[in-house]
Every structure is written in C-alpha cells, then in structure tokens.
C-alpha cells in the first residue's frame, strides 16, 4: 500500500553533497530520520476524534514517508507514482525498480513498488516488498495494511486478519477497517445453529 511537519522536519535540509563510491558512481544517502515525527503522528491518530482529523494526520504521515533521501531519489519516486496514477504499471515498476536499486534502504521505494504489484494482482511480489519496507520502517502503517490486503489476495486469511489488526492498532481510522466490520471478508462467519428436528 500525509502531518503538520514540525519545525525540525519541515525545514529543508541543506543540499547534500553528491556521494560517490570508489568507482565514481553516485551513492544514495541514508534516508532522513523522521521516526520521532512519525511516532508523534501515530499517537495523535490513535486519539483522533473523527475521520476528518485522522485524514489530516494520515496525509502528514505520507508527507514524511514520501520524503526521499535526495533529489534523484525523489524524482524516481515521483515519476513512479505519476506513472501508476496514469495506469502505466510497467513504467511505474521501472521507476520503482530504479529507486530500490539506487536507495536500497529507503522503505517507500519498496512500499510503492508493492502497491503497483498489488494493483497488478501479483500479491506474492507485493508481499515481498512490503516485508522489506516494514523491516526498514516498522511503523509504516500503510505497508502494514497493504500487507494485510496482499495476504488476503493470496487466500491467507488468518495471517491477513493478524496483519490488519496490527495496522489498526497503529491507526484505527484506516480505510481498510471495513474489512473487519460485520459482514467483512476478514470477520469469521458465525456458526449457524443446528436446525431442530433434523435427526436422520
């Protein structure tokens, strides 16, 4: 599978010097550390009084997750998301492949590539990337919910329930919460009472 950024994270970082490896190839810098702001936003989401306020907080979370390590990484991320929005999934995958190759420690590259594969119904590929995104960013609620949807797509319902419940513990306002509502696909069916007088 958007928070008022505090002063510490809203100010643009100074232009980073181009880092190169021994062969002269440009190296992606380490992802920016927004962990404190993310944790603060998640706490606010858990206490949000209504869906409108939760949506604002969620938008602020997305702004942090989509803050790529440098201009080159940001251009790849933006290109992939633009291609996906126009249903050019091949072009989107190409951009995200380039992004994860260039910035293998940036979680959002994997999360966005997973979303494209989810839309292509390649749930197994999506799940691999979501697991990688969560290893890099354990509080990435969107990756958690995407993981639940991918597991559901694979028919692994029990695991999908666990994954979605974990995501909802972080953000109870997730759109995917309807999957756990009565009648939803991730709610166990109630056993039907035995009809009387049906002894054979």
Count Cα atoms within 13 angstroms, Cβ side, for 123. Answer: 12
- Does residue 161 or residue 15 have the better pLDDT? 161
- pTM of this prediction exceeds 0.85: no
Residue among 90, 94, 96 nearest 77 (CA): 96
Please enumerate in sequence order all residues whose Cβ is within 8 A of that of 70, keeping only pairs 6 or more positions apart, or say none: 16, 28, 29
User: For residue 121, is pLDDT > 70?
Assistant: yes
pLDDT given for residue 7 in this prediction: 30
Q: Containing H/E element for 160? A: helix 157-170
Q: Residue written as tokens 């590929």? A: 125
User: For residue 36, is pLDDT > 90?
Assistant: yes
In this prediction, residue 2 has a pLDDT band, given cuts at 50, 70 and 90, of very low
pLDDT given for residue 13 in this prediction: 37
- DSSP-derived letter for residue 179 is G
In this prediction, residue 24 has a pLDDT band, given cuts at 50, 70 and 90, of low
Q: What is the mean pLDDT of residues 133-146?
A: 97
pLDDT given for residue 8 in this prediction: 31
pLDDT given for residue 25 in this prediction: 62
User: For residue 10, is pLDDT > 80?
Assistant: no
Mean per-residue pLDDT of the chain = 87
In this prediction, residue 192 has a pLDDT band, given cuts at 50, 70 and 90, of low
User: For residue 182, is pLDDT > 70?
Assistant: yes
In this prediction, residue 76 has a pLDDT band, given cuts at 50, 70 and 90, of very high
User: For residue 68, is pLDDT > 80?
Assistant: yes
pLDDT given for residue 191 in this prediction: 55
In this prediction, residue 28 has a pLDDT band, given cuts at 50, 70 and 90, of very high
């Amino acid at each position: 599978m958007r928070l008022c950024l505090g002063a510490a994270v809203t100010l643009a970082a100074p232009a980073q010097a181009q880092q190169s490896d021994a062969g002269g190839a440009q190296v992606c810098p380490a992802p920016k550390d927004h962990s404190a702001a993310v944790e603060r936003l998640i706490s606010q989401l858990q206490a949000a009084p209504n869906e409108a306020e939760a949506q604002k907080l969620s938008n602020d979370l997305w702004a942090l997750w989509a803050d790529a390590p440098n201009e080159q990484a940001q251009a790849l991320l933006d290109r992939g998301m633009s291609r996906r929005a126009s249903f050019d999934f091949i072009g989107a995958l190409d951009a995200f492949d380039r992004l994860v190759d260039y910035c293998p420690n940036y979680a959002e590259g994997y999360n966005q590539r997973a979303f494209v594969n989810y839309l292509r119904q390649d749930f197994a590929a999506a799940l691999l990337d979501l697991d990688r995104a969560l290893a890099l960013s354990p509080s990435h609620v969107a990756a958690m919910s995407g993981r639940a949807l991918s597991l559901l797509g694979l028919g692994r319902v029990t695991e999908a329930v666990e994954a979605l419940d974990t995501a909802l513990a972080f953000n109870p306002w997730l759109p995917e919460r309807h999957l756990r509502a009565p009648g939803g696909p991730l709610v166990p069916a109630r056993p039907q009472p035995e009809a009387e007088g049906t002894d054979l």
